[in-house]
Amino acid sequence: MIATNADREEATVTLPPDDDVIAALRAGDETAFATLLGTWSRGMLRVARAYVSTPEIAEEVVQDTWLAVIGAIDGFEGRSSLKTWIFRILVNTARKRGVRESRTVPWSSVFVPEQAAGEPPAAHRDAPERDGGPLADADAPEGEVLASEAREQIWLALADLPPRQRSVLVLRDVEGCTAEEVCEILGLSPANQRVLLHRARAAVRRRLAGYFEAVRPSA
């Protein structure tokens, strides 16, 4: 998976068990809250960006989500993991904001790839081949890591996807969520999740194939 330095730093953070984190949040532990912010906010921005038209609005969605989390943490029953619960709140918040935006401006019309939060989809190591296969480095010419121009093509392809396909792809191939987690976060059946992921990956692959064909040196 293509990762930024910030992503690698996030990956090194090991959070305490959910029960300990929840107890700390309920007690108003600012250190525990700051740790969660630093660990999950970047990924939350990427997921929110799948629904809204600008990074600034995505930031507002993430802020609203954290406010909702703090307000609802006392009622959290632990039926899912804390992360899944928080990301479900995020998606619901982003969906509502995205619906309001769609009445005024389409997502793709104001999309600027350089402004997208985080890196584009790469390969999720455990992604099953029946889902169409992950977006792997092998897609790049001579197996090189995707160039910045190719990453831009991925984000442009994301801009053209329907919101549900876009969110499934971001959660699976950018955030590394399991199929089960995605189903719970987005309220999808396993079969629907697989179909959405397959179609999203296929659309991005088609755009990349066209790009690589255009830039490949002639024999």
pLDDT average, residue stretch 137-159: 62
At 174, the pLDDT band (50, 70, 90 cuts) reads: confident
Q: What is the dihedral of CA 25, 38, 136, 205, to 10 degrees?
A: 80
Q: Going from the N-terminus, what domains does the chain have, and what CATH number goes with each?
A: 5-107 (1.10.1740.10), 113-215 (1.10.10.10)
- Distance CA(212)–CA(139), nearest Å, equals 8
Distances (CA, A) of 179 to 4, 128, 154, 167, 214: 23, 10, 21, 12, 34
Looking at residue 88, its pLDDT comes to: 96
Instruction: Give 99-131 pLDDT, tens digit per residue.
Output: 877 655 554 544 444 444 445 444 443 444 445
Cβ–Cβ under 8 Å, residues 86 and 40: yes
Looking at residue 124, its pLDDT comes to: 41
pLDDT average, residue stretch 66-75: 96
pLDDT average, residue stretch 36-63: 91
In the chain, count H helices and then E strands.
9, 0
Of the two residues 124 and 213, the one the predictor is more confident about is 213
Looking at residue 202, its pLDDT comes to: 92
Taking the model in full, what pTM does it have?
0.73
